[in-house]
Structure 1
Amino acid sequence: MTPSELKILVAEDNLVNQMVMGKIFKKLGFEIALAKDGAEASLKGQETAFDLVLMDVNMPGKDGLEVTRDIRAAHGDKPVIIALTASVMQQDQDECIQAGMNDFMSKPISKDQLAELLNKWWNGIVPTGEAL
């Protein structure tokens, strides 16, 4: 799979974080769809078969845990859902995994951190080393 083939949804209510993630993904060669709150993320996640969802855990309306359960009910094990949160407590990570998320990324995210996670789930999709 190439970066242009990967369907990505970023569920994030903070405008600054949306812009930062959009720029990072663009630099890595990916296009993304955005959801600005939990309700929009749930709707988009159920309607479209995304390959990857970066899910803010704390969003207004539906939180990321509830949205994850909605997406899992609609699509099963697909997509890969990665939690985005400022909380790094083990209990919070466990809640995300129990809700059906596959992985966990703490905020603020970096290009290197995102590339590492993308390569973990899609081996070699992002060039490493100086190409980053």
Structure 2
Amino acid sequence: EDNEVNQSLARAMLEYLGQQVTVVEDGGQALEWLAQAGNDVDLVFMDMQMPVLDGVETTRRWRHHEAEQPASARLPIIAMTANVMQEDARRCIDAGMQGVLHKPFTRDDLHRVLQQYLVQSSDSQEKVLAPDK
């Protein structure tokens, strides 16, 4: 997300839901950060319209990078976009994203995405992230 207001809002909602958040401003920075972070990243929210590289091209390049890694797990990437056209959602999915979260979104919308993609294994039991209320 390159818009500072949207960054702050999304960060606050995700942190409220118990997440550690790193924000980068463009697709080039996203690729660099992902390569450095390695397996420490559980989920990426990818803005479709960023400077340098848009979210679709950034995702394509990351998927290519993953394909070159031996036994690499596929990182969940969710598009964040104000675009509501079906063609835009299809472009995201075709690039390798798992889903699309339309702006404006709510904390409950984010929570649903987190529940879907952040299932963790611990002592052979699955745990799903739940918000503090």
Other-structure match for 1:43: 32
CA RMSD of aligned residues (A): 1.6
Identity %: 36
Match of 1:23 among 12, 24, 44: 12
Please say if residues 51 and 78 of structure 1, whose CA atoms lie closer than 8 Å, have aligned partners that are also in contact.
Answer: no
Relative to structure 1, the CA distance from residue 47 to residue 74 in structure 2 (aligned partners, 3 Å threshold; closer, same or farther) is farther
Deviations 1:70-122 (A, max 9, x none): 21122245210000000111111100000011111001121100000111123
**How far, CA to CA, are the matches of 2:51 and 2:31 in structure 1?**
12
What is the DSSP-based 3-state SS (H/G/I as helix, E as strand, rest coil) of the residue aligned with 1:78?
Answer: coil
Match of 2:97 among 101, 106, 110: 101
Other-structure match for 2:66: 75
Q: Displacement, 1:125?
A: 2.7
Task: Please tell me whether Structure 1 or Structure 2 has the larger radius of gyration of its CA atoms.
Answer: 2
* 1:92 equivalent in alignment to 2:66: no
**How far, CA to CA, are the matches of 2:54 and 2:102 in structure 1?**
16
Other-structure match for 2:23: 34
**How far, CA to CA, are the matches of 2:79 and 2:42 in structure 1?**
14
**How far, CA to CA, are the matches of 2:52 and 2:104 in structure 1?**
22
Other-structure match for 1:7: none
> 2:55 corresponds to which letter in structure 1?
G
Structure 1 residue runs without a partner (length 5+): 1-11
Aligned positions, number: 119
TM-score, structure 2 normalization: 0.82
**How far, CA to CA, are the matches of 1:34 and 1:118 in structure 2?**
17
Structure 1: which 4+ aligned runs deviate by more than 6 Å? none
Please say if residues 43 and 117 of structure 2, whose CA atoms lie closer than 8 Å, have aligned partners that are also in contact.
Answer: no
What is the DSSP-based 3-state SS (H/G/I as helix, E as strand, rest coil) of the residue aligned with 1:127?
Answer: coil
